[in-house]
Structure 1
C-alpha cells in the first residue's frame, strides 16, 4: 500500500540518523539501572498481593456511567489527605492526567507558559485546548517574567517539579512568587517527585510548603510508587470542573480495583518507611562521588542521573558497552532530548547495592579513560 511505503521511508530515515526506536524486554541477567522504580516498590510482593480481597477484575465502565466504585472514592479521600489537598481526582496515567487538565482548563483567550523541557504530554495537552501557549527557557525566571508581562487572559504556568531527563528541580518558590505577582495559576507535574520528597513521600510542593499556592498538582503512581495511575489534586471546584469537562476523564474506563489497592498500599508503606528515601539519597551520593569529575555527567541530585554524549551513535555505543558489562541502561536520543544532548539515562535505586554502584562507576570511568 502507498501509505505503508511512506511509513517505511520515514522509518528508514530515522534509522539513518541513529534515532530508530524498538521494543526491548529487560534482560533478567542485567542489573536494573534503567527503570523509574526508584524505591523498589514495584517489586514488593506484599504491596501488590490482593487475591484474598477480590472485588472485581475491572470497573466495567467510566466513572460517570457504571464505573464509579466505593474503592475509587475511598482512595481519592486518602489521596487528598496524603497530598494535603482539598480534593483529588483519579486518572489512568500521568500522561492522561496532564492531557485532561491542560486541554480542559485553559480557555480561548488565556495564555499557558510552559517550561521548554516539560514532558511531551504537557505540550500535547495545551495543543488540544484553545488557549495560546508559549515555551519559556528551562528554569529561567527572567524569561518567564518577560513572557508573563505579555500574557493575556487567565495565565497558567506549567512546570515539572523534577525533570525526567536531567533530574533537576524547578525553582518552585520563585515561580510561585512570580505567579502571585502577575496573578497567574501554577500547575505542577509531580511525576518524578511523587513518593520521594518529604517525610511521607508527598512530593516537592508539599515538602516546600507550597501546596496551598499551587492551582493543580498532578501526581503519577507509575514511578517511585511502583503502581499505575495518577491523580490531580487541587480545589473542589477544580475536581468538579474536570468531572464535567475533561474528556480524558469522562470517556475512559475507570481504574480496576487491584490498581487502586496497589496505589494505597504503596503510599501507606512509603509513609511508614522514610528510610527508603534516605537510603536512596546515600546511593545517589555514592554514585556521584565515585564518578570521575571530568566525565560530562548531569548535575542532578535526584535518582535520575546520566552521561551526556556527542551524538546518537555514541550514546548507543556507550549503552551497548554498559549492557555487556551487565547493566540495564538505555540510550536517550533525539527528539526525546535535543541533538547534541544525547545521553545514557542512569537511574539509581534504593535496591541497588553499593557493590553494584561501585562496579557501574568503574565501568563508566574505564570507558572514558
Structure 2
C-alpha cells in the first residue's frame, strides 16, 4: 500500500517538475478565449430568462429523476425531447445521455463485439478510446484525416468494421473530410459513427445535417455542453440501434437519469438557436478577424478552435501567463492530452468576443513566440 502511494507521489512530482500538473482552480476572471461556449449561450441573459420562465411555469422540472430511465427515471419530457431532436436532425430516433462521454461509452462498448474491428482516427476523443477497451473488439488507428490510410486498413479487414471520426476536432481545430470518409465506408460496407460535439451549433446542426448524410452514417453524437451552453448529449441513429443500446449499453442502463430541467433546457436551446442565427454569423466574423492576423495555426480557417503549436513547455506556460496578466484566458495543452512534441496554445473564439480584444490577443502572441 505504502509503495503504491510512493509511486503516485512520484508520478505527480514528475508532472509538477515538468509544469504540467493538473489542479482544480476557481473559475478565473478575464476575457474568454478558452471555453467551448462558442455562441455565448452559457451566459446569455435572454436564454437564462427563458429557462427561468419555464421553471416558474412548471417547478416540477426541478425534481430529481429518482432512478435510471429503465426503472423510475423516464418521463414524458425526456421522450418528447428525444422525438423533437430526432425530427430536427432528420434521424429515425435519438437517445439522450447525461454527457457526451457517456454517449460514446455506450456506442463503442456495446455495438462492436470481440469479432469486430473498430478503426478510429488517431485524434479521436479519449472517451472513444476508453470505450473501445470495454468492447473487446480489435482497435486500429488511421492517420489523422488520412482517407487513403483508412482505405488501406479497411482493405485488410474481414468481418464487421466500425469507423469513428469527429467532424470538428477539439484539439487541432480542423475539419474531417466527411464526404470522402462516407464514400470509403460505403465502399467497404463499414459502419461510420461521427462525433459532432464541437461542430453542433457552429455549423448549424453539424456537418452530417449540413451535408445531408443522415442515411450514410450508423450514428452521430451531439453534445449540448458546448455551443448550446447546457449539458448532456444525444445519439442519433435508427430505431434498431436505439433499442439495442437501451437493452445492452451499461452506461445507459446503470446511470441515474438527469432531471427534466436538463432535457427541457436542451429543447429550448434548439429553439433559441433557431431564433438567434445572428450568433453564428458573429462567430464566423470573429474567426475571420483572428485568421486575418496570420498566426501560424494548424486549424481550419472556419474553426472556432485555433491551435498554435509551441512545443517548448516553458515557453508555452510563459505565453499563457503573459496573456493572463493582460486579462486573456487561454488554454495550454500538454502531453499526454496531445502527442509529445505537439503541445499547443488552444484558443477558442466566440460570438461575443470583441474585435479589439482579438487584435490585442494576436499581437501579444506574435510578440512572445
Q: Distance in 2 between matches of 1:306 and 1:182?
A: 34
- Alignment partner of 1:110 is 2:113: no
TM-superposed deviation, 1:277: 1.1
- 1 CA distance for matches of 2:50 and 2:89? 20
State the secondary structure of the residue aligned to 2:8: helix
**More displaced, 124-133 or 298-307?**
298-307
User: 2:316, 2:157 → 1: CA distance?
Assistant: 39
1:47 CA drift (Å)? 4.3
Counterpart for residue 174 of structure 2: 168
For residues 114-129 of structure 1, the aligned pairs below 5 Å read 114-129=120-135
Structure 1 partner of 2:59: 54
* Map of 1:297 onto structure 2: 297
In 2, Cα distance between equivalents of 1:100 and 1:122: 10
1:23-67, Cα deviation, whole Å (9 max, x unpaired): 122222x10111000000111223432430211431110000000
Please give the secondary structure, in 1, of the residue aligned with 2:65. Answer: coil
Residue of structure 2 equivalent to 1:315: 316
Q: Distance in 2 between matches of 1:48 and 1:39?
A: 17
Q: Are 1:141 and 2:147 matched, yes or no?
A: yes
Work out whether residues 176 and 213 of structure 1, in 8 Å CA contact, stay in contact via their aligned partners in 2.
yes
CA RMSD of aligned residues (A): 1.2
1:63 is aligned to 2:64 = no
Query: Which residue of 2 is the match for residue 367 of structure 1?
Result: 368
| In structure 2, distance between residues paired with 1:263 and 1:232 | 14
Q: Is the 8 A contact 1:38 1:348 kept in 2?
A: yes
* CA distance in 2: counterparts of 1:46 and 1:367, whole angstroms: 42
- Residues 266-306 of structure 1: CA deviation (Å, up to 9, x unaligned): 1111022222111100100001112xx3x432232210012
Match of 1:25 in 2: 26
Q: 1:33 touches 1:348 (CA, 8 Å); kept in 2? A: yes
CA distance in 2, matches of 1:261, 1:299: 34
1:92 aligns with 2:98: yes
Residues 300-334 of structure 1, C-alpha deviations (whole Å, 9 max, x = no match): 22100122102222211111111011101121000
Matches within 5 A, 1:318-357: 318-357=319-358
Query: How far 1:142 sits from its partner (Å)?
Result: 1.0
**1:34 partner SS:** coil
Aligned residues: 361
1:47 and 1:266 in contact (8 A); partners too: no
Deviation per residue, 1:128-176 (Å, 9 max, x gap): 1021110000001111011001112211110001000011111111111
1:217 matches 2:220? yes
| Alpha-carbon distance in structure 1 between the residues aligned to 2:38 and 2:186 | 34
Q: Which SS does the other structure have where 1:217 is aligned?
A: strand
Aligned counterpart for 2:193 among listed residues 187, 193, 197: 187
TM-score by length of 2: 0.95
Q: Deviations over 1:236-289 (max 9, x none)?
A: 001000000000000000111111111111111102222211110010000111
Unaligned 5+ segments in structure 1 are none
Q: 1:288 aligns with which of 278, 291, 313?
A: 291
Q: Tell me: CA distance 1:47–1:122, structure 2 relative to 1, closer, same or farther (3 Å).
A: farther
Give me the TM-score of the superposition, normalised by structure 1: 0.95
Instruction: State yes or no: 1:265 paired with 2:271.
Output: no
Asked whether the 8 Å contact 1:47–1:262 carries over to 2, the reply is no
Asked whether 1:277 is paired with 2:283, we answer no
Q: Give yes or no for contact 2:85–2:94 (8 Å, CA) kept in 1.
A: yes
- Partner Cα separation in structure 2 for residue 299 and residue 307 of structure 1: 8
User: How far apart are the structure 2 equivalents of 1:310 and 1:183?
Assistant: 40
2:256 — aligned with what?
253
SS in 2 for 1:18: coil
d(CA) in 1 for partners of 2:173, 2:319: 20
